[in-house]
Structure 1
Amino acid sequence: MVRWTHLTFLAYAQIVAYYVLFQPNPGWMPDRIFLGVLLATACFVGGGTLINSFYDLDRDLVQRPWRTLFERPVAKKYGLQLALWFYAIGALTVVVLLPKLVELSFILYGILIWAYSHKQWGQHRLGPLMATLLAYTPLLLLAFAYAPESADGFWRSLPLALTMMVVEWRRQWERKQLWTLPEAQRAKPIRRQWMYKALLVAGIAAIPFLYA
């Protein structure tokens, strides 16, 4: 239901970006704005994955049957309720902790995630591109929250960010095609999915060495 590995990766990317790129002299303790960005991202993305799980149950029974059979009763009964709680906590977080313009940007981001999950935009031809843009928006929002101090780190890391976005788009595109293949032909594409994920993690891990 909630894709904890996805949330962990986003949090890891934001933590690295905060300490290395977007704050010129960050202390050991994160400030109120960063904690707000971190929590709001987790809540909105977590809520979106819950909504996605609720509306994609039938398709997921084909793509990952054993896991979905286990999750299905919980998703059908509690999925939307939990998603609403996630969204409510995210909205409260941005109102209390973030500046007004950043708050409005996060609310818009939450609406886009809801629309992507609820309207199943991921099944459209542009679904992989939309998924990629939504995946990298939290880093843009973090940079926006610390503008103009974040500008130098943003521009220096932009080539790496664009490269990683291309990798993520390719991963999303192949993932969309994966389940149209006969089961006997899926092993190699699945291995490539893990390769793409490893490249993305390596890209974030390289930031302190490239830009510190």
Structure 2
Amino acid sequence: MNSEKETFQPKNTASKSLFYRFSQLVGFLLGARVFVAALLTFALYVSTFFLFNQEESLRNFVFDFKVHGIIFCTVLSILAGGIINQFYDFEKDHIMKPFRTRIQSFIQQKYFLYAYLGLSIISLGVAWMISHRVFVFFVIYQFFMWFYSHKLSRILIINNLTFVSLTLYPFFGMMVYYETFSMKVFLMAIFLFLILLSIDITKDTLTKSVDKTFGYTTIPNYFKTNITKIIMISLLIITMAVSMKIIARTGVSGFMGYYFAGGLFIIILCIYLFLDYSRRSKSATLNILRLWVFIGIIAMLLNGIESKI
């Protein structure tokens, strides 16, 4: 019997160790928000090649290592931003995201900070090798991501505007890099800004009580329900107006034309759902808007491929 116990004990210990290491990996991936970073990277490549850089061939784009370096720095900065954000939001996430917090508990918080510093330093180091201007661009980006997590995320309206601006900051950098200034790009940027702002405010309606408990002053927990409804519906109506402007003034066609035309019906649906203001309808609105952003990326990709053929 003793020999049997001794035989099976190492296997049991090995399986526990493997589970622990796997949990650490998953915890780090969730803490760094790797999946969000992957989606933003995909969106950045699609928009860079098919929207900002319409004259360069695919071959030249593939071998443009400066662009790849900038996107690499962006990815590392986003990962670092996700880590520092979860560090400051740990107590709030403990209530709102208990499963993720449980997985992250396999890693001590100090290791998340080490990862944050490491990713930030590597990003800035690569940026310095590209150019001094790129280095300054990412210093500003990383500073405001830290400052948002540390202070701005708790300030009314500033929190939403800063979050959306930081999400779009890398795309703005690529627009400046390629000097792509046009009415079409400007209107698309406004459209995306309004959609992301609507998503962020809708998300705040679902975390209203927890945000208030931990000192995050958001639109839903500062204003009354009716005012929050008016703000959200107004944003969606303005988004519809911008979408119609894009269709009428910029002459978008193909998949992007279908996307903006279909977006009018999607926004009407979201307005209808938000009038109900139940938790279920707010969750549905949030998921629909998030899905529509992803569909927009795919539409841009397909539209770009169609135009290149």
TM-score with structure 2 setting the length: 0.61
**Structure 1 contact 102–144 (Cα < 8 Å) conserved:** no
* Greater radius of gyration (CA): 2
Q: 1:4 Cα shift?
A: 1.9
Question: Distance in 2 between the 1:30 and 1:123 partners?
Answer: 43
Verify the 8 A CA contact 1:39 1:90 in the aligned structure 2. yes
Gaps of 5+ in 1: none
1:31-42 pair list within 5 angstroms: 31-42=64-75
Is the alpha carbon distance of 1:118 and 1:181 closer, same or farther for their aligned partners in structure 2, counting shifts above 3 Å? Answer: closer
Following superposition of structure 1 onto structure 2, how do residues 131-210 of structure 1 map, counting pairs within 5 Å?
131-147=163-179, 150-152=180-182, 155-180=183-208, 186-208=279-301
1:44 aligned residue = 77
**Aligned Cα RMSD in Å?**
2.0
Please tell me whether the aligned partners of residues 54 and 75 of structure 1 are also in contact (alpha carbons under 8 angstroms). Answer: no
**Residue aligned with 1:66, SS:** helix
Q: How far apart, CA to CA, are the structure 2 residues paired with 1:158 and 1:202?
A: 20
Matches within 5 A, 1:37-186: 37-74=70-107, 76-97=109-130, 99-119=131-151, 121-125=152-156, 126-147=158-179, 150-152=180-182, 155-180=183-208, 186=279
For 2:65 and 2:37, the matched residues in 1 are separated by 20
Q: Does 1:10 align with 2:43?
A: no
8 Å contact from structure 2 (residues 128, 134) kept in 1:
no
- Report how many residues are paired: 204
Distance 1:31 1:91 in 2: 19
1:8 partner letter: A
Contact kept, 8 Å, 2:83 with 2:112, in 1: the verdict is yes
- Within 1, Cα distance between the matches of 2:118 and 2:88? 17
Identity among equivalent pairs (%): 21
Does the aligned pair in 1 maintain the 2:203–2:286 contact within 8 Å?
Answer: yes
**Contact in 1 for aligned 2:85/2:149 (Cα 8 Å):** yes
SS at match of 2:36: helix
Provide the C-alpha distance between the structure 2 equivalents of 1:66 and 1:87, rounded to a whole number of angstroms: 27
Structure-2 separation of matches of 1:199 and 1:160: 14
What amino acid is the match of 2:291? A
| Whole-Å separation in 1 of the counterparts to 2:206 and 2:95 | 12
What's the CA shift for 1:30?
4.2
> What residue is the counterpart of 2:273 in the other structure?
none
1:151-201 alpha-carbon deviations (Å, 9 max, x no partner): 35xx4222222111101001111112211269xx53332222211111111
Cα distance in 1, alignment partners of residues 121 and 202 from structure 2: 33
Range that drifts further, 59-68 or 25-34? 25-34
Deviations 1:78-125 (A, max 9, x none): 11110001101110111112x332331222111111111233x22321
SS in 1 for 2:107: helix
- Kept in 1: contact 2:124–2:139 (CA 8 A): yes
CA distance in 2, matches of 1:101, 1:168: 28
Name the TM-score, length of structure 1 as normaliser.
0.87
Contact 1:102 1:145 in 2 (8 A): no
C-alpha separation in 2, matches of 1:75 and 1:136:
31
Contact 2:83-2:116 at 8 Å conserved across structures: yes
Q: Aligned partners of 1:111 and 1:96: how far apart in 2? A: 19
